[in-house]
Amino acid sequence: MNNFLSWLVRGDTTEQRQKTVVKCLQSKGPTPIGVNLTIADIQQGFVLDNYGYKNEIVLFLRKDKKDRV
């Protein structure tokens, strides 16, 4: 996880961070459309969908399945 966070914070260039899609998610706005989540979006804490709805980004950590009861 440490390597991921250092890579996320460091990044290479602004252009690369804006182009690198981490995951495609569904917007929570009035019209649920697909939204590409990029490194730059994670760094700023939100992503806008095509209609301008601002989706807040929240990251969760959980235990491995074998450790959960």
**Bigger pLDDT: 41 vs 10:** 41
Look at the chain and report how many structural domains it folds into: 1
Quote the pLDDT of residue 57. 92
Going by C-alpha positions, the residue among 10, 35, 33 that lies closest to residue 21 is: 35
pLDDT in tens, 22-69: 899 999 988 889 999 998 898 899 999 999 999 999 888 888 888 766
Confidence at residue 65, expressed as pLDDT on a 0 to 100 scale = 81
Whether the pLDDT of residue 1 is over 90: the answer is: no
Domain residues for the domain of 21 are 2-67
Per-residue confidence band for 12, with pLDDT thresholds at 50, 70 and 90: low
Element (H, E) at 8: helix 2-10
What mean pLDDT do residues 3-14 have? 63
Residue among 60, 17, 52, 59 nearest 31 (CA): 52
